[in-house]
Amino acid sequence: MLSDVTPQDLDDRFRAALGALGNPARRRDLGEPLSDGGPLTGAQALAIFDAQVTSRLLDLAGRWLRGFGEGYYTIGSAGHEGNAAVAAALQPTDPALLHYRSGAFYCVRAAQAAGDFPAPDVPVATTPPTPDPGDGYAQAARDVLRGMVASAREPIAGGRHKVFGRADLAVIPTTSTIASHLPRAVGMGLALERLRRVGGGRRPGGAVPEAGGAVPETGGAVPETGGDAGAGSPWPPDAIVVCSFGDASVNHATATAAFNTAGWYDHTGLRIPVLFVCEDNGLGISVRSPKGWVEATLRARPGIRYFAADGTDPVEAYRVADQAATWVRRHRRPAVLHLSTVRLMGHAGADAETAYRSPAELDADAARDPLLATARLLVAAGYATGEELLARYDERGWQVRRIAEEVLDEPKLASPAEVLAELAPRRPVRISQAVAEAAARAAGPNAAARAEAFGGKPPELAGPLTLAQSINAALADGMLDHPGTVVFGEDVAAKGGVYGVTKGLRDRFGAARVFDTLLDETSILGLGLGAGVAGMLPVPEIQYLAYLHNAEDQLRGEAATMRFFSRGAFRNPMVVRVAGLAYQEGFGGHFHNDNSVAVLRDVPGLVIAVPARPDDAAPMLRACLAAAVVDGSVCVFLEPIALYHTRDLYADGDDGWLGEYAEPGAWAARHVPIGRARVYGVGSAEDVTIITFGNGVRMSLRAAATLADEGIGSRVVDLRWLAPLPVADIVREASATGRVLVVDETRRSGGVGEGVIAALVDGGYVGAAHRVAGLDSFVPLGPAARQVLVSEEAITQGARTLLAR
């Protein structure tokens, strides 16, 4: 009986078991298929064994490296190596998002890419060849070991995280595989099917570009600018998405969202070719999945075909995986493969399983070791002897050990610049160039299509527009320029949005590009994540800011990390439109007047735009779309609901809050760079600087007019961008008067004003400062909202207080 399963014990047991297998009764050629009519040849079964062995040895190496302080990751795949058969049943161009126990899958995918996984009709040697130190399995081992030791040469994250990923393997890194990647998989499936139907899939043999960009006609690099971005997919038209996860993850809200969305769309007749693979070892660290629960949960998902296989039996795992993949590929519909596995050596290096598992249970799992099952198959079928497999295991072990020693000496990330290099690159010159090129297209080759889309009356001839009308027109121009742009969310299509911001877009561009989604923000963002990485330019809408908070990890943990953890090899460009902030008259309460943006400002690399005026909204949206195309940026376009239809500034009927929509010839000149503020001078503009954004801009301009009547001159600074903050503009304008009033419609704690004050201090500002902010309260219903929100009176009084110091 086992008291625990240690690396040494697992190795000893496996070696002893191989030694005891002996010789087959009859030797067979490796090119022959299994005698029982199974779909595998001997060479393929041996290749699966090689992948499983490599994965197992990497687990042992991870513990060894950790033992002397040189390894930083010990979650392994021991017991889950049956997923090698799943990889073998798929095409190597099927994009994969992998669970952290899918190591053998990754090894097979690397071997397939290197040409080391045999096709069924290719002649092979009679006896197993010696492992090649430069084959695909060794390459996979080097990739994984580099991740374990945080080597800067690791091919996907470059030492930032240990993940499975490589662009040439179509393996997309997932930073947290507790189901948070499943909504992205659904979005990828939806995007792949759309691109397949419109002919946007990659040509056979074409180069795989940087994901999230266009496929150039000659293959290769992604275009830095241009209207064709998002027009094609990095993967072939018949590709399916595969997404693996653990059994405990079926209980996670994001898994529920993904399954529900896939089934919902299938129910409506929209096809999503996704194969979910649940690797079920019965445990979530120490918490057991109740017997039968996972199967019952997966079987009950409407619209998702259920397949099940024993992951410790390579023949059955391959056969069922092949059936599942073939079904998804043929029908373009979602399915789940429930792969039963065991877990060996615990959850991770520090996990003592004896605290929650009995010796008998550990012994039973060790007896179901999938490596041993594959070895027994190879010997029983006559493809190898136990001695040959043991020698193969040892030779691969020495390879892994040598590679581990080599990667120890590789450089680590050694400076902030190295760490942040791929977080969120900003190339403002290229973005401005992209805007100028879009303008040239709108005025030139696309002029006729533009005139038709706007019914012969382009927005620049429609007279002054409201904020909502300006955003609507800019969205239309963006969709005209970028054929891969899709606008979606709750009520955005037929209704045109709750506030009419997307009105008419579906009629102009069709239901394939402007469509309603189910009511689930996690799924809306997941669709955007998948569409972006598949080569489209998604513009999802979150109906209210308050609704974003239950799904914010899709932005924080998935969207914003993609470039960071793939060194830019993958990206998910997107512009998320969010209706938010307070001051709606006669409507709402907290959920429709949410003034909390702290959760967004905390996300590294995220661009946050808050357009206050119509004449800023369109150029800011163009800048976000261009940043998504050029840099793969993830942008949140936070639209103040209370200003959507506002027309007046100082007095009823003055139309002071309307704005002209620039003609394409003026787009370049009126471009609004990301991270640049706008300054208004009121009176002498010499006495006080008011720094604000959103609704605060209109209130501050009104307050400044009141102050001007008192002889006080103000300069009102509209931040426009909450991330990155326009720090240079903030410090310059504050220093111009020596008195700065920060008007923050969010909350005092965690609000934007804290960031502005910090920027002033860091920038060396030495003048006086005062802050007017919303209270640390949710926004109540009706007139009571005025008690917690910033008012014009509070702004004027704050300025007077500041000047009295």
pLDDT digits (tens, 9 = 90+) for 16-35: 998 899 898 888 888 888 87
Strand partners, 639: 579
- d(C-alpha 88, C-alpha 47), whole Å: 9
**Cβ neighbours for 763, distance < 8 A, ≥ 6 positions apart:** 727, 728, 730, 731
Q: Is 592 a catalytic residue?
A: yes
Strand partners, 579: 639
pLDDT of residue 7: 82
What global pTM score does this model have? 0.92
Which run of H or E residues covers position 396? Answer: helix 386-408
- Answer yes or no: is pLDDT of 51 > 90: yes
- d(C-alpha 480, C-alpha 503), whole Å: 16
pLDDT of residue 363: 86
pLDDT of residue 216: 29
CA 789 from chain centre, in angstroms, equals 34
Q: How confident is the model at residue 123 (pLDDT cuts 50, 70, 90)?
A: low
DSSP symbols for 625-680? HHHHHHH--EEEEEEEGGGTT---SSSTT--TT-BPPPPGGGTTTT---TT--EEE
Phi, psi for 271 (deg, rounded to 5) = -85, 140
The upper half-sphere exposure of residue 163, i.e. CA atoms within 13 Å in the direction of its Cβ, equals 27
Annotated catalytic residue, options 592, 645, 671, 770:
592
pLDDT digits (tens, 9 = 90+) for 181-237: 999 999 999 999 988 887 654 433 333 334 443 332 322 222 232 333 344 778 999
Q: Is the peptide bond between 604 and the residue preceding it cis, with omega within 30 degrees of 0?
A: no
The upper half-sphere exposure of residue 552, i.e. CA atoms within 13 Å in the direction of its Cβ, equals 16
pLDDT digits (tens, 9 = 90+) for 560-616: 999 999 998 999 999 999 999 998 876 667 778 888 899 999 999 999 999 999 999
Indicate the DSSP class of residue 169: G
pLDDT of residue 175: 77
Look at residues 752, 464, 732, 491 and name the one whose alpha carbon lies nearest to residue 617: 464
- What is the maximal distance between C-alpha atoms in the chain? 104
pLDDT of residue 207: 33
How far lies 197's CA from each of 192, 193, 528, in Å?
9, 6, 19
